[in-house]
Amino acid sequence: MSFGGFLFGLESNGNFANIRDSDSFFRMDWIMSKIKAKTHKGLAKRVRVTARGKVKRKGTFGGHLMSGKSGKRRRRVHSLVLMKSADAQKTLNALGHHKP
């Protein structure tokens, strides 16, 4: 069995056969068409996509040590902020959103 991809298929007798050499039902294009894109679950828990496709994330520097920060700064830190466009595009790709 190959770890570099789907190079071997299972024959009816239970043995593995090389797909490139055989003319079997398990062709490379058939197998590759079945592979699905996966959502990055860790990222999906940390961001929110708006209806217009913008990406919101949590503000930074708000995890701990809040006693030394003013109330105004604490309120600002806990609000959601929009991601920059380059980062937002990478995020949308990782979440499985694609441009029409």
| Per-residue pLDDT reduced to its tens digit, 20-32 | 555 555 566 666 6
DSSP 4-36: SSS-EEE-TTS-EEETTT---S--HHHHHHT--
Tell me how many domains the chain contains: 2
The two structure tokens encoding residue 69: 């920060």
Instruction: Looking at the structure, tell me whether residues 31 and 45 fall in a common domain.
Output: no
Instruction: Looking at the structure, tell me whether residues 87 and 55 fall in a common domain.
Output: yes
| Per-residue pLDDT reduced to its tens digit, 48-90 | 999 999 999 998 898 999 999 999 999 998 899 999 999 999 9
**Are 78 and 61 within 8 A, CB to CB?**
no
**Are 64 and 42 within 8 A, CB to CB?**
no
Instruction: Looking at the structure, tell me whether residues 45 and 31 fall in a common domain.
Output: no
Instruction: Looking at the structure, tell me whether residues 54 and 26 fall in a common domain.
Output: no
